[in-house]
Amino acid sequence: MDNFVLLGAGTWLVLQILALVLMRGAWRRTAWVSAAMMGLAAIVAALGALAGSNLAPIWVVFALPVCLAWIVMLWIILGITRLITR
């Protein structure tokens, strides 16, 4: 299970960085949604950990699949629109 979480986190991070570097305009703004969601989850997890909660990182674990699905769908939709507009 831990390997899947790490693989998902690595995949999300690579796709997120590529999206923010390569996409322009509205596509880039849409890619920022995923980064903002993960950033908020990380902040909540950090604040929870500082408060002594041992379940604080669960927010990152819950946000990761949503953010990964978001960025994968964004890349798929971008690819489809580029194929259609050619």
Distance CA 82, CA 73 (A): 14
The pTM for the full model equals 0.88
Distance CA 85, CA 6 (A): 36
Distance CA 82, CA 4 (A): 31
Residue 38 tokens read as 């993960």
Answer whether residue 52 shows pLDDT above 90: yes
Answer whether residue 11 shows pLDDT above 90: yes
Mean pLDDT of 3-30: 94
